[in-house]
Structure 1
Amino acid sequence: MDRRILLGTQLLLLAVAPAAWATGGKGMTWAKGRHVTGVDELGCGSCNAYVGDTACTAALPILCIQKDGAPRPSYYTPSSSSYEWAAGNLATTLPVTGTLLTSLAAANQMCTTFFGAGWRMAEFHDGWGWGMSAFGNVRSDTRFWVHINDQPANCWNP
């Protein structure tokens, strides 16, 4: 069986055997807080960084990051200490069901497929931990899949 994702005018075919799909459970998601002249603040909000907060059967965009060491712009002051500078750029994929996030490598590959080399799934600790800021202007009408490297709050965790 396959999963098809429409990317602009291109149809991406993700050949995934049903047995390889994540089994369900919950994954952690974040939301956009505010946007200030090219900079987004994103954070946990009502997430659960310990066991996940959103059913993996949900279709949400993946929050992707390209950490290139970009310095924080002088005009930007975070609205709180939760939004530590992540030194990079943010973008989101089209909505993807969490059941396709079978591993961190699979999620990173989706970011690379959508945006190119150097892009990967954003991680809880890319900023301070509970939040981050970086260049971007991601959508504000949905939550995003984000992974955490030291807790079982990812769709690929049993």
Structure 2
Amino acid sequence: MVSVTSYLASLMVFSIVLISIVSGKMGMTVAKLSHQNDLAIDLVTCDTAKGCNPYSGDTDCNTKLPVLCKQIDKSPRPAYAMTCTDHAMPKEFYCGWTMGYIATTPKVAASTFSTIGDVDAYCADAFGPGWVTAEFHDSRYIPGMNGATCANAQWTQWGAS
């Protein structure tokens, strides 16, 4: 197993498939938008170039792509700037904090998995105990957070479970 921090600092994969068990044949693809070296964080977002659809999927599950995995340790949000824009929700929603680490697996066809539990096990096999599949609604936000506002010691673990 490679160290967690090295994965966070060196995430180089640009397309990740998230399994949509409900649709059965399509998964959601996200893309790495940016990396902030000073904070060792990555911003991943819905891959709008592919017509991202978090509810019915946008990528055939027979396509081999990495799986985006997460390990939540309830880390406080670093003081990153909000670079997202408002849509149906406030911009903070789209630049939320995952409260931990993300990493990608080797490429695999999502159709090889039967349940989200199978994908979670794949993440755990790749990175170790506590790693599970990342999901579209994972990030947390506090209205008004930006830069140092609601960061580090000010982070309240909103919605953490």
Q: TM-score, normalised by structure 1?
A: 0.63
Match of 1:144 in 2: none
- Would you say the 8 A contact 1:24–1:55 is kept in 2? no
- Would you say the 8 A contact 1:24–1:57 is kept in 2? no
Match of 1:43 in 2: 45
The one-character-per-residue Cα deviations of 1:74-126 (angstroms, maximum 9, x if unpaired) are 3x223123111111101000001111121100000000000001100001111
Q: TM-score, normalised by structure 2?
A: 0.62
- Would you say the 8 A contact 1:26–1:53 is kept in 2? yes
The amino acid that maps onto 1:87 is: M
The amino acid that maps onto 1:57 is: N
2:82 paired with 1:78 = yes
State, as a whole percentage, how many aligned pairs show the same letter: 39
Q: Which has the higher helix share?
A: 2
Match of 1:34 in 2: 34
Matches within 5 A, 1:117-136: 117-127=129-139
Structure 1 residue 24 displacement after superposition: 6.3
The amino acid that maps onto 1:127 is: S
Paired residues, what number?
109
Matches within 5 A, 1:94-105: 94-105=106-117
Structure 1 residue 25 displacement after superposition: 1.9
The one-character-per-residue Cα deviations of 1:123-142 (angstroms, maximum 9, x if unpaired) are 1111159xxxxxxxxxxxxx
Q: CA RMSD in A?
A: 2.4
Secondary structure of 1:85's aligned partner: coil
> Quick one: distance in 2 between partners of 1:79 and 1:45?
16
> Quick one: distance in 1 between partners of 2:42 and 2:82?
10
The partner residue of 1:60 within 40, 55, 65 is 65
Structure 2 gaps, min length 5: 3-20, 85-90, 142-161
Q: Which has the higher strand share?
A: 1
